[in-house]
Amino acid sequence: MKEAFRRIYGAYPEGVWAAPGRVNLIGEHTDYNDGFALPIAIPQHTLVAARRRQDGRLRLHSAQGDGPVIDLHVDRLTPGAVTTWGAYPAGVVWALREAGHRPGGADLHIDSTVPTGAGLSSSAALECAVAFAYNDLYGLELSAPALALIGQRAENGFAGVPCGAMDQLASACCTAGSALHLDIRAGAHEQVPVAPEAQGMSLLVVDTRVKHDLGDGAYAALRAGCEQAARLLGLAALRDLTPADLHRAAGALPERLVPLVRHVVTENARVTDAVARLRAGRLAALGPILTGGHASLRDDFRISCPESDLVVDTALAYGALGARMTGGGFGGSVIVLAEEDRVEAIGAAVTTAFRAAGYQAPDLFPVSPAAGARRIA
């Protein structure tokens, strides 16, 4: 990273920062409903090499593209002004300034191993890596959760994606060997130990290669539907409903909103149940929770796709303990929990099933809970 930075900008960077992607074990579309989630950071990460500038210019370069350096000015950053991938790092600088900080310019070189469009939070990894770099470069002394919320603000207000905060909090706050139990309303999180290998198990990510775009309007429509349901029920957020309240709530809502509410309420309960099972050392018991979460996303939220459903069905048929789509939906990845000695057969079966269906071959890789964002050089 340092040598690449020197080739691009003519001098070495002041440092290199890393932030991971994430897999959400359970708790999907609950964050913007003030609910609960249980993500892990993954080993795939985004790197940012950075150096301060004194002239207010913000220059951006990505190793994943062959385009020129994007040249901006921090005083002229406004939502909509950047429409390429550069909106995410530029949005972080904009969000910092909107929050009352006055950081100056920088040269940034970015490289990433987080697959884009795979539901593994490549945008959050980029935002957090840039936020942590700016925090150190300009001595802002912001906490990891505060930097995560800067990343969310960048994605909401600058890049135009109305996401919740779960992805950025996972990238910023996860620790190796643990899942992050998030309570979005309380602004609280705690680490829950997760050690698949120690229990003879594996977490397998299957990237379906179906690209999703959360900025295309479908995600925003789901969020708007949940918020409308909360207003009609006189609630601050759907988090305030329990499973016992569902029958009463259904009678007070338009029919089209009932499945959205049912998913959010049951998904919050699944997170609570998952945390209890993990704390009891019962990782295998997480399997039915994952599979139940997928059914809810498929049938109530209707954000799965044939490729994701095929992964889940095939993995379960070949001995997986549980499986579900992970991320915002409309494609992306599936997380499979299986005993280690079943992983190879499951992977082969999924690949064969995709070939038989005429789908592009999936990308499969195991993950273990990794560390969150940090300076590495």
Which residues participate in catalysis according to the annotation? 167
Question: Tokens 């949940």 map to which residue?
Answer: 226
Strand 57-62 and strand 105-112: pairing? Answer: parallel
Cα 270 to Cα 254: distance, rounded to the nearest angstrom = 25
- How is residue 239 written in tokens? 């988090």
Cα 88 to Cα 169: distance, rounded to the nearest angstrom = 16
Q: What is the four-CA torsion angle of 160, 332, 175, 269, rounded to 10 degrees?
A: 90
Residue by residue, DSSP assigns 298-310 as IIII----HHHHH
Q: What are phi and psi of 279, to 5 degrees?
A: -65, -25
For 54, other C-beta atoms within 10 Å of its C-beta total 7
Cα 82 to Cα 18: distance, rounded to the nearest angstrom = 23
